[in-house]
Amino acid sequence: MSGCKDLSRRSFIKKTGIFLAGMQCVWPLPAWALSTSPGIEQRSPKSSYDLTIGYSPITIDGREGVSTGVNGSVPGPLVYLREGDDVTLRVTNELMDTKHASIHWHGILVPANMDGVPGVSYRGIPPGETYVYRYRVKQAGTYWYHSHSRFQEQTGTYGPLVILPKDGEPFTYDRDYPVVLSDWSFEDPEAIFRHINILGDYYNYQRRTVADFFKDVREMGLLDTIAERNAWGNMRMSPVDLADVTGHTYTFLMNGHSAGMNWTALFNPGETIRLRFINSSTMTNFDVRIPGLDMEVVMADGKAVKPVSVHEFRIGVAETYDVLVRPSKDQAFNIFAESLDRSGYTRGTLAPRAGMHVPPPALRPRPVRQLEKIGMGGMDDNIFGVMMGDMKHGDMQMDGQGKQPKQPDPRIPGPNGPEPFKPDDIGVNVIMVVNNPRYRLDEPGIGLGEDGWRVLVYDDLVSAEPQPYSTTVDREMTINITANMERYMFSFDGRKFTEQPGPYFFRHNERLRLFLVNHTMMEHPIHLHGMWMQMENGADKLPFKHTILTKPGGVVSALITPIERGDWAFHCHLLYHMEAGMFQVVRVA
Ligand SMILES: [Cu+2]
């Protein structure tokens, strides 16, 4: 655990070119993240924290790098608060070569100037300065915090935030561990961003091969195979582009440990263990399972849900899930988190004693996106229309050109569903428009659901929390998730942040139905600051979400009550998508 032992400042500077003035040699992980630590149960909440963002060493699998950790570690300290308390969090920026640093309290309902987004909530924290956040904690559960300044989150500015409820937990357990998943790279994030801007599939070494072509010909026939590949070509993307940045540069971490470092949580057989999964990755959606154990999902995004028993769940970037597990045998179990694109994994171990482990399972084969499955095929039944900028053939330029749209899906709420999207220009900013987006909250998502296991779907989430907001919808609004992936342009409503004419307007305390329509071929975890999104999944009590993983060709609607006036960030939580323009300001007035 001595990340500092062999680290001279000279070699540090040589490797990084960064002058690390006054850098202290620090213990690389905070107590909460250490293997076989006693977990949260042994700790007490505090109402005051000092957090310092600075350059600090990190050692992953024997390799040394430089992080922008909090209080010297990646992840940072556990911020453990109590519901109802007035808290003070002093955040200092010691990154002397930055424009600013920042901390955003992800999923926490705060006044706008406490939200921590430079350029939206405040000006950020200039080098050498301290910003004092003060707010009353109005909720409980599992959350996290992270930088909202450029790529600091990629280099380690994040940590778990847990809030003890004032009236006790809605379920019982014997042990309580945060499980923070993240993606670490030794590459400079500015270089990663450059690479994927120049070549969208720079980190995709998993392209389909000639052998795949002949396999497809055998299964689909020659003409269909060629037609399918032409369709993909016209959309300028590859069916295996499941993640822009992959295990080829990332080491996936669990509580700061690589798979080999094997973070371990202890239990006594017969106990109930609470695991608070937090996806603090910048770009990686994970599929999580504990082979041999059922997991009972009891909270989503910090809010209680009616318990759902599953074998596996997908956790989008920035989401959190609390699960209970009840290992009865005296044996070790893998906590296994595979990246959605199967380019890598991280894992830890649940064990009755330190040092036990079982070999992790094999990675499953990478899923292949099929036009059919995301509704871009099936042209005959005309369920999903797609317009493409560069379509030279008429065969996919179909809906809105005389054909009758299909009956609306009754699961999509509202009298008319989302507003049709009519971008000014199809081509540069928007490469494709889905005319009839599909309700997909009942689907586990690409690569899941075919192993004979029970996989969590959004339709399973039924809130077990009080419902404080009006049920009458005052207004509807549609936001389109758009991209031209070849040019690495990511946007809302066809315009990246810098091209938007102004913010989206929400009215204070209105009940708004927000439709999110994903016109791209990727999953995007969409995050709204400062207020809950209650996802309309058919439940009688709608689950509260701060981040919704939207599926390609899909529509999600959420009911929102904007409880605080001010400017709020609304964005894709894939860090490089956000920086590429999938970001907007929501003004509540
Ligand atoms: Cu995105």
- What confidence tens digit (pLDDT) does each residue in 356-379 have? 989 999 999 998 887 666 666 544
Sheet-wide strand order for 79-82: 79-82, 158-164, 141-146, 104-106
Cα–ligand 1 centroid distance for 525 (angstroms) = 6
Confidence at residue 102, expressed as pLDDT on a 0 to 100 scale = 98
Bigger pLDDT: 123 or 214? 123
Confidence at residue 509, expressed as pLDDT on a 0 to 100 scale = 98
**40 — phi, psi (to 5°)?**
-75, -30
Q: Using CA atoms in the order 335, 340, 344, 345, what is the torsion angle rounded to 10 degrees?
A: -10
Cα–ligand 1 centroid distance for 479 (angstroms) = 14
Cα–ligand 1 centroid distance for 192 (angstroms) = 16
What does the pLDDT average to over 187-194?
A: 96
Confidence at residue 183, expressed as pLDDT on a 0 to 100 scale = 98
Confidence at residue 18, expressed as pLDDT on a 0 to 100 scale = 43
Cα–ligand 1 centroid distance for 359 (angstroms) = 33
Contact 411, 538 (CB under 8 A): yes
Cα–ligand 1 centroid distance for 35 (angstroms) = 33
Instruction: Determine the angle formed by the axes of helices 222-234 and 210-220, rounding to 10 degrees.
Output: 120
Confidence at residue 484, expressed as pLDDT on a 0 to 100 scale = 86
Cα 120 to Cα 90: distance, rounded to the nearest angstrom:
19
Cα–ligand 1 centroid distance for 245 (angstroms) = 12
pLDDT tens, residue by residue, 102-153:
999 999 999 999 999 999 999 999 999 999 999 999 999 999 999 999 999 9
Confidence at residue 13, expressed as pLDDT on a 0 to 100 scale = 42
Cα–ligand 1 centroid distance for 285 (angstroms) = 11
Write out the two tokens for 281. 């990755």
pLDDT tens, residue by residue, 222-232:
777 777 777 66
Confidence at residue 368, expressed as pLDDT on a 0 to 100 scale = 85
The secondary element (H helix, E strand) that includes residue 209 is none
Band of residue 43 on the pLDDT scale cut at 50, 70, 90: confident
- What is the average pLDDT value for the chain, to the nearest integer? 88
**274 — phi, psi (to 5°)?**
-95, 125
Confidence at residue 435, expressed as pLDDT on a 0 to 100 scale = 83
Contact 279, 317 (CB under 8 A): yes
Confidence at residue 394, expressed as pLDDT on a 0 to 100 scale = 31
Confidence at residue 403, expressed as pLDDT on a 0 to 100 scale = 44
Cα–ligand 1 centroid distance for 358 (angstroms) = 35
Confidence at residue 240, expressed as pLDDT on a 0 to 100 scale = 61
Sheet-wide strand order for 345-351: 263-266, 345-351, 333-339, 286-289, 312-315
Q: Is the peptide bond before 75 cis (omega within 30 degrees of 0)?
A: yes
Cα–ligand 1 centroid distance for 571 (angstroms) = 8
pLDDT tens, residue by residue, 301-328:
999 999 999 999 999 999 999 999 999 9
Band of residue 14 on the pLDDT scale cut at 50, 70, 90: very low
Question: Which among 274, 331, 281 is positioned nearest to 297, based on CA atoms?
Answer: 274
Band of residue 10 on the pLDDT scale cut at 50, 70, 90: very low
Residue 512 β-bridge partners:
475, 560
Which residues make Cβ contacts (< 8 Å) with residue 5, sequence separation at least 6?
Answer: none
Tokens 């990727």 found at: 522
Distance of CA 583 to the CA centre of its chain: 15
Give the highest mean pLDDT range of 212-216, 254-258, 481-485: 254-258
Distance of CA 442 to the CA centre of its chain: 19
Which residues are in the CB-under-5-Å shell of ion ligand 1?
A: 524, 572, 574, 577
Cα 26 to Cα 52: distance, rounded to the nearest angstrom:
13
pLDDT tens, residue by residue, 246-290:
999 999 999 999 999 999 999 999 999 999 999 999 999 999 999
Which residues make Cβ contacts (< 8 Å) with residue 271, sequence separation at least 6?
Answer: 173, 174, 175, 326, 327
Cα 53 to Cα 128: distance, rounded to the nearest angstrom:
10
Cα 111 to Cα 511: distance, rounded to the nearest angstrom:
19
What does the pLDDT average to over 541-548?
A: 98
Confidence at residue 52, expressed as pLDDT on a 0 to 100 scale = 98
Cα–ligand 1 centroid distance for 482 (angstroms) = 9
Cα–ligand 1 centroid distance for 384 (angstroms) = 21
Cα–ligand 1 centroid distance for 169 (angstroms) = 34
Cα–ligand 1 centroid distance for 491 (angstroms) = 9
pLDDT tens, residue by residue, 385-440:
444 544 333 333 333 333 445 577 899 998 889 999 988 766 667 778 888 899 99
Cα–ligand 1 centroid distance for 524 (angstroms) = 4
